[in-house]
Amino acid sequence: MRKLFAFNMVTLDGFFEGPNQDISWHNVDDEFNQFAIEQTSTVDTILFGRKTYEGMASYWPTEAAIKDDPIIAGLMNSLPKIVFSRTLQKAEWNNTRLVKENSAEEILKLKGQLGKDIAVFGSADLLSTLIQMDLIDEHRIMVNPIVLGRGNPLFKNMNNRRKLQFVNIKTFRSGNVLLYYQPISNKED
């Protein structure tokens, strides 16, 4: 069965975006870009919620993205993508399919197919839903050395406590720390 992992950048105080969906604080350099290329090369499907999809679709196909980051832009534009949304009317970004209902069924079907890993990038609302459905196999959380004081928390709308097992850590020269966790018990204590 294929693994579904979630990758998110967060601040030291737990926000995945600042007010007004600000992500200008993302600590990205050449070392991060190399990591992003390696990680994205291990997946053959990317899942998004509507808000993250709209942000990604407005950036990666642009000339600026293709010029500034040609390898990641190539991967992001060519990989199959699924956006889960009840409100979005169409998904026009290359290789994107819109799913309006039965997200659990869709993901279980994907996980049962042969292929590389499946990734969720950003998409905190979708992530919360997938966690509650016990569909996430691994969390990859990159902590950036910054405190925003306010913003949108990564783990929101969670109804129950979730235990995670530490799997690995990777430190970056920039001060970013990537933490790998897997669910060990998805039952409330």
**Where along the chain do its domains lie?**
20-173
| Phi and psi angles of residue 178, each rounded to the nearest 5 degrees, phi first | -100, 120
Say what the pTM is: 0.92
Taking Cα atoms as reference points, which of 132, 88, 90, 124 lies closest to residue 107?
Answer: 132
Report the alpha-carbon distance of residue 108 to residue 38 in Å, rounded: 25
Report the alpha-carbon distance of residue 16 to residue 8 in Å, rounded: 7
Topology, domain 20-173: Dihydrofolate Reductase, subunit A (3.40.430)
Contact 68, 103 (CB under 8 A): no
- Dig out the tokens for 104 from the structure: 């659990």
| pLDDT for the residue numbered 158 | 80
Residue 102 pLDDT grade (very low, low, confident, very high; cuts 50, 70, 90): confident
Question: What confidence tens digit (pLDDT) does each residue in 40-79 have?
Answer: 999 999 999 999 999 999 999 999 999 999 999 999 999 9
